[in-house]
């Protein structure tokens, strides 16, 4: 059984058959988007049409120390809603995984479903209630959803186009796909809170890739994950090249931490950017004495240029940004993964391997 030292381990039972929903939005300086995000979610009358005390949903904004107007906006919304329906929670650890765990520990008593949302996303009408319905229809531990990328700047529009292709996403089923079915991983949406508590919630040591790491433990414990192609959300990519590169660097570093923790082999599609980076470095070095080695960098440039041209033909001149975006995705992820792997090896040599978690 789970260790009682973790405050959200105790299983709660609702007083009736109505699912009591806890929606959590981790934030950090989201003043530009948080109001529209929260109001879209609150418009779901099936979940938020009644007060929390009567079984209605609760929405928690777990803020990691915003220095803009995020907290003021959330407080204003909270004051306009029924008591306890919207709450602002301070997240001193700042990372999303810790913020969600903290929200469940503080407000999860009596709640049966956790819905995780992102302040950078747009959600369709009835999003939360549809997730809860599907969670129960499928009798699964988690429902994940596809992400449709939508850029709001010239660069972001090019990035959005390429992100929803196999070149940009590596063929991940939840990136622009339409199929439904049981999967190993997807964009986190709804989770049965009993399952969440049972496996210990998110690993708060993970600032990135906490969702994939969670799904590994969930699957190992017997939990099933349903990807629903009909329930979709719109994701806004980073507005600048530097932001996208930093994001994918962090993704790669997070994936390396997951690989090290669970001692698993990355999938081939995840290793292709790493192989490409190493080949680029090797062939560029070799080309100083053997010029034909430039064939590999030339081939990569040809692929990236072709992707940019196709994107431009599909969405207009902004599509040319798909080329630089693709490089940021590939090289950012690969460098992050390699540095994360090196850090993991160094830590193991210095302090020894991380003890395995008790899955009982």
Burial of 54 (C-beta count, 10 Å sphere; 0-12/13-18/19+): exposed
Residue spans of the domains in the chain: they are: 21-239, 253-351
Angle 341-248-340 from CA coordinates, rounded to 5°: 10
Amino acid 333: pLDDT: 98
**Distance, CA of 158 to CA of 193 (rounded, Å):** 38
Amino acid 156: pLDDT: 98
Amino acid 358: pLDDT: 38
Residue-by-residue pLDDT tens, the chain, 360 positions? 344 344 444 444 333 446 999 999 999 999 999 999 999 999 999 999 999 999 999 999 999 999 999 999 999 999 999 999 999 999 999 999 999 999 999 999 999 999 999 998 999 999 999 999 999 999 999 999 999 999 999 999 999 999 999 999 987 777 877 899 999 999 999 999 999 999 999 999 999 999 999 999 999 999 999 999 999 999 999 999 999 999 999 999 999 999 999 999 998 888 999 999 999 999 999 999 999 999 999 999 999 999 999 999 999 999 999 999 999 999 999 999 999 999 767 655 565 555 544 333
> Which CATH number does 21-239 carry?
3.90.550.10
Amino acid 351: pLDDT: 53
> Within 13 A of 349's CA, how many CA atoms are on the CB side?
6
Cα dihedral across residues 127, 128, 130, 134: positive or negative: positive
**Distance, CA of 250 to CA of 322 (rounded, Å):** 20
SS3 354: coil
pTM of the model: 0.89
The token duo for 305 is 């240029």
- Euclidean distance between the first and final Cα of the chain, in Å? 5
The token duo for 36 is 């529209």
**Distance, CA of 261 to CA of 354 (rounded, Å):** 7
Contact 161, 315 (CB under 8 A): yes
Burial of 161 (C-beta count, 10 Å sphere; 0-12/13-18/19+): buried
Q: Which residues pair with 60 in a beta bridge?
A: 24, 87
Place of tokens 């369709």: 124
- How many Cβ atoms are within 10 Å of 357's Cβ, its own excluded? 13
Contacts of 276 (CB under 8 A, 6+ apart): 300, 330, 334
Closest CA to 39 of 64, 68, 67, 61: 61
């Amino acid at each position: 059984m789970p260790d009682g030292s973790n405050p959200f381990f105790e299983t709660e039972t609702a007083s009736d058959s109505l699912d009591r929903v806890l929606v959590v939005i981790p934030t950090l300086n989201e003043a530009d988007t948080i109001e529209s995000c929260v109001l879209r979610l609150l418009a779901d009358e099936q979940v938020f049409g009644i007060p929390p005390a009567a079984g209605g949903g609760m929405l928690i904004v777990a803020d990691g120390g915003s220095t803009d107007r995020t907290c003021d906006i959330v407080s204003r919304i909270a004051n306009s809603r029924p008591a306890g329906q919207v709450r602002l929670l301070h997240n001193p650890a700042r990372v999303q995984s810790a913020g969600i765990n903290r929200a469940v520990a503080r407000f999860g008593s009596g709640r049966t479903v956790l819905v995780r949302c992102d302040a950078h996303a747009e959600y369709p009408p009835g999003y939360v209630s549809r997730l809860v319905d599907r969670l129960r229809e499928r009798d699964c531990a988690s429902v994940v959803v596809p992400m449709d990328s939508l850029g709001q700047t010239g660069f972001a529009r090019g990035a959005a186009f390429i992100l929803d292709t196999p070149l940009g996403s590596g063929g991940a089923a939840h990136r622009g796909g339409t199929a439904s079915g049981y999967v190993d991983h997807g964009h986190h949406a709804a989770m049965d809170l009993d399952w969440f508590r049972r496996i210990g919630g998110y690993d708060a040591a993970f600032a990135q890739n906490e969702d994939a790491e969670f799904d590994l433990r969930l699957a190992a414990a017997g939990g099933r994950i349903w990807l629903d192609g009909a329930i979709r959300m719109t994701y806004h990519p980073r507005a600048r090249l530097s932001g996208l590169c930093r994001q994918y660097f962090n993704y790669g570093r997070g994936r390396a931490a997951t690989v090290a923790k669970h001692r698993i082999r990355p999938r081939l599609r995840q290793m292709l950017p790493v192989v490409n980076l190493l080949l680029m470095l090797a062939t560029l070095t070799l080309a100083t004495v053997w010029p034909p080695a430039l064939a590999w960098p030339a081939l990569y440039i040809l692929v990236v240029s072709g992707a940019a041209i196709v994107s431009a033909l599909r969405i207009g001149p902004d599509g040319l940004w798909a080329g630089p975006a693709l490089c940021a995705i590939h090289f950012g992820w690969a460098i992050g993964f390699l540095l994360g792997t090196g850090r993991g090896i160094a830590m193991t040599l210095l302090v020894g391997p991380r003890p395995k978690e008790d899955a009982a």
